[in-house]
Amino acid sequence: MASASGPSAAGFSSVDPGGPSCTSSSASGNKRAMASEVPYAPGMSIKKIGHRGVDSSGETTYKKTTSSALKGAIQLGITHTVGSLSTKPERDVLMQDFYVVESIFFPSEGSNLTPAHHYNDFRFKTYAPVAFRYFRELFGIRPDDYLYSLCSEPLIELCNSGASGSLFYVSSDDEFIIKTVQHKEAEFLQKLLPGYYMNLNQNPRTLLPKFYGLYCVQAGGKNIRIVVMNNLLPRSVKMHIKYDLKGSTYKRRASQKEREKPLPTLKDLDFLQDIPDGLFLDADMYNALCKTLQRDCLVLQSFKIMDYSLLMSIHNIDHAQREPSAHETLYSVDTRKPAPQKALYSTAMESIQGEARRGGTMETEDHLGGIPARNSKGERLLLYIGIIDILQSYRFVKKLEHSWKALVHDGDTVSVHRPGFYAERFQRFMCNTVFKKIPFQPSWKSLKLKSQSSPNEQKTSEDLEPDSVSMMSRCQPLPQ
């Protein structure tokens, strides 16, 4: 239910927030972008993509509303809706809660319920407020933390928002992504809410997107729908490589234009070429990851959802330690904010196995939310992953697209496929090709590379430790 800069953003997508921000504004979003904040270089051709465009001053617009006005409206609206919700007693979620829509008018001069502001009049709608409050609580997000993250500092606009025509914002503390969505996407999410609720209660460990709120800003006669969700790729951790994986090989290679970006989004054929041996995980971690993928795919299949991807960004610890700015990758501490309650399932590690970091086979150091892994060279990696683009229902158009492609290509290799086959192929590719299990469980710290050992060094069979190369050669794929 979360790609950008490469992957299709037809469904709810997560972008790489490590890219440059487009504009800045005051804490309330009141300032228009200055000349230095123009998101496009002078002389650069500007074309409208979907509802996203650029006005005469160079500021990004969406449905003719400037980005600064939209950010301000979002912060005003969320502040009001979360505040009013806090006055309502907590209770169990009822079926009718999924269909409630609350609306509040924000005139620029202010009212008894709303403050004055510097934008045009707008109306703010909140969908299923009680249900989303429950989701936030389930993910360990307190109302004051939610408000602080989204409304106390300027939202940061992301430039590398792909071909969907959507706008993406990230909260200043890196916790949340806000994305504009089309009417059909918002409508589909509303229909999914009861099933989403049931799935989270049964399987709170999930790689599916975490939805925290669905809202609509009505401005200038237009409806601008937005969704708030988890941020998969923290800007505070330098990513060295990124993949959008579907388990399909038909045309699944990044374009030359994509490869010219600072952090391109590569695809399945690129992964097979770059990392042919796959990525190696501790046995417990591998089992937890594949079990989570299996459960999530079953849920998506039950809703006839397909064409989703696994977004995976890789931080190479060994490379980072050799880089001059390695210390800058650590989180900075905001002393103005009280120590927050940590979100229970917001990181990749916690999405698959909350207790894994305390297991006997894992290092106890802070992994910054990433899943620890190794490549065939034995280099230490942190994986940041999540399932994205899940709002692809297998409707008539998709059936037609697959039938046409299958006439000229092997039908089993194209990305668009019936949901059951798609889910099975997706799981098989991830758990047999992308991720591999180390067949035994030595401590990561005991692994030594051959290149680090002296060629004259003699070892007995008792003290010989398994090196990463021989370890990788004995890895077996998951049984079919």
Please give the full DSSP string across 220-271, using - where no structure is assigned: TTEEEEEEEEE-SS-TTS--SEEEEE-S--TT-S--HHHHTSSS-EE-HHHH
Query: If pLDDT is split at 50, 70 and 90, which confidence band does 227 have?
Result: very high
**430-456, pLDDT tens digit by residue?**
999 999 988 654 444 444 444 444 444
Residue 353: predicted pLDDT? 67
Query: If pLDDT is split at 50, 70 and 90, which confidence band does 373 have?
Result: very high
- Pairing status of strand 241-245 against strand 279-281: unpaired
Residues 60 and 47: their CA atoms lie apart, in Å, by: 11
Closest to 151 (Cα-Cα) out of 66, 82, 230: 82
Residues 371 and 385: their CA atoms lie apart, in Å, by: 8
Q: How many CA atoms lie within 13 A of 76 on its CB side?
A: 29
Provide the H-helix boundaries in 111-154. 129-138, 143-151
Structure-token match 């798609």, residue found: 422
Percentage of the chain exceeding pLDDT 70: 66
**Domain spans, the chain:** 48-231, 232-321+368-405+416-440
**257-314, pLDDT tens digit by residue?**
888 888 889 998 999 999 999 999 988 899 999 999 999 998 888 888 888 899 999 9
Give the pLDDT mean for 133-156. Answer: 89
Mean pLDDT is lowest, of 219-223, 323-327, 358-362, for 358-362
| Contact (Cβ atoms closer than 8 angstroms) between residue 369 and residue 348 | yes
| CATH number at 48-231 | 3.30.800.10
What distance separates the 2 farthest-apart alpha carbons in the chain?
82
| Contact (Cβ atoms closer than 8 angstroms) between residue 345 and residue 356 | no
Closest to 29 (Cα-Cα) out of 72, 75, 76: 72
Q: How many CA atoms lie within 13 A of 339 on its CB side?
A: 0
Per-residue pLDDT for 51 more than 70?
A: yes
Backbone dihedral angles phi then psi of residue 385, each to the nearest 5 degrees? -135, 160
Give the pLDDT mean for 41-51. Answer: 54
- Which CATH number does the domain 232-321+368-405+416-440 belong to among 3.40.605.10, 3.40.50.2300, 3.50.50.60, 3.30.810.10? 3.30.810.10
Say if residue 312 is exposed, middle or buried (CB neighbours under 10 Å; 0-12, 13-18, 19+).
Answer: buried
**85-129, pLDDT tens digit by residue?**
888 888 889 999 999 999 999 988 888 888 888 888 899 999 999
Residue 185: predicted pLDDT? 86
> Both tokens of residue 240?
């060295």
Residue 330: predicted pLDDT? 45
Per-residue pLDDT for 18 more than 70?
A: no
Residue 65: predicted pLDDT? 81
Q: Phi-psi category of 389—alpha, beta or left, where left has phi over 0 and alpha has psi -120 to 50?
A: left
Mean pLDDT computed over every residue of the chain: 74
Per-residue pLDDT for 225 more than 70?
A: yes
Per-residue pLDDT for 175 more than 90?
A: no
Structure-token match 């071909």, residue found: 163
Residues 247 and 432: their CA atoms lie apart, in Å, by: 11
Residue 342: predicted pLDDT? 44
| Contact (Cβ atoms closer than 8 angstroms) between residue 11 and residue 125 | no
SS3 content of the chain, % helix, strand, coil (to 5): 30, 20, 50
